[in-house]
Amino acid sequence: MGSIRSRFVALAGGLSVLLLLASCGGGSSGGGGQSGGTLTVLAASSLADAFGELAKIFEEQNPGVMVKQSFESSSTLLTQIQQGAPADVFASASEEEMDTAAQDGLVQGEPRLFVKNREVVMVPADNPAGIERFRDVAEPGVRLVLAEEGVPAADYAIEILGKADEEYGSGFKRDVLSSVVSREADVRASVNRVVVGDADATFGYASDHTPDIRNRVEVIPIPPDLNIIATYPIAALKDAKEPDLAQAWVDLVTSKEGQRVLDKWGFEPAA
């Protein structure tokens, strides 16, 4: 009888130790990055440089955490999220995609606007088509590339051309779109076609005029009364595997430090 009692006490003691370890978080990695973990961020392609720098800062602030990021068009990322792609944070170049994600119940809490951006026309440094002002994109023979339909940068471009139709006369938009020689997966891909000389012009964001290409392209400003200001929202996702890390990332992006980095890469404050 004493032997049975001894075994029972030993088992009970062992169970208590296991429960104590569990209560201390010995098996968890989601404690705000303090015990490691992987944060997965899906972000618009125009955010690649700024978010790349912010990832290094985040990993320094959260030892043991690894930030994994995927940069594509906002429309592509929305589709991936709708299809169940594992991710913790979504940052879009358009409120439309974020609104859809929220309506579908895919985000946690209220999305936050964190930066603005504006469109520009980019041409190769040698400018073979002789585009000196925005109106010149409608000249015959211009090889224009755009991002795919549904990509925010391309949709903004179409909206800009619609406004230009009213300013310059009906037919401007038609003339420009008749010169489109290629549609690319996202805005960075369309800018790259100009960088390598495969196109005479593209519509991109001011933030896409990054240091690595500034000696290879020129920026043609779009008149302010025709331009579109893009607003970027960010939100943690409802099915985030690392909800604490997701909120910490949103907090960093919207913090003074995050805004400093975004300003460095050509974005404007949201407020």
Span 30-65, pLDDT tens digits:
334 445 899 999 999 999 999 999 999 999 999 999
Q: Mean pLDDT of all residues in the chain?
A: 89
| Together in a domain, 90 and 157 | no
Quick one: what percent of the chain has pLDDT higher than 90? 86
| Together in a domain, 192 and 141 | yes
Q: What is the pLDDT of residues 122-145, one digit of tens each?
A: 999 999 999 999 999 999 999 999
β-bridge mates for residue 204, sequence order: 120
Please give the average per-residue pLDDT across 150-170, as a whole number: 95
pLDDT at res. 261 = 98
Rounded Cα distance, 193 and 11, in Å: 68
pLDDT at 169 over 90: no
pLDDT band per the 50, 70, 90 thresholds, residue 28: very low
Instruction: Kindly tell me the sign of the dihedral angle through the C-alpha atoms of 90, 95, 101, 106.
Output: positive
| Together in a domain, 133 and 163 | yes
Task: State the number of CA atoms in the 13 A half-sphere of 184 facing the CB.
Answer: 21
Q: What is the pLDDT of residues 228-267, one digit of tens each?
A: 999 999 999 999 999 999 999 999 999 999 999 999 999 9
| Together in a domain, 103 and 148 | no
**Can you give the residue range of the structural domain that contains 96?**
31-116+231-269
The pair of structure tokens assigned to 97 is 């995609």
Count the domains in the chain. Answer: 2
| Together in a domain, 219 and 238 | no
| Together in a domain, 122 and 224 | yes
pLDDT at res. 35 = 55
Does residue 23 sit within a domain?
no
pLDDT at 22 over 80: no
Q: What is the CATH number of the domain that holds 208?
A: 3.40.190.10
Q: What is the pLDDT of residues 175-199, one digit of tens each?
A: 999 999 999 999 999 999 999 999 9
Q: What is the pLDDT of residues 87-105, one digit of tens each?
A: 999 999 999 999 999 999 9
Q: What angle do CA 86, 108, 264 make, to 5 degrees?
A: 80
Does residue 6 sit within a domain?
no
Q: What is the residue type of 38?
A: T
| Together in a domain, 74 and 130 | no
Would you give the end-to-end CA distance of the chain in angstroms? 75
pLDDT at res. 27 = 30
pLDDT at 121 over 90: yes
Residue 242 near residue 39 (C-beta atoms within 8 A): yes
Q: Which of 131, 147, 119, 72 is nearest to 221 (CA)?
A: 119
Look at phi and psi of residue 84 and say left if phi exceeds 0, alpha if psi is from -120 to 50, else beta.
left
pTM flag (> 0.75): yes
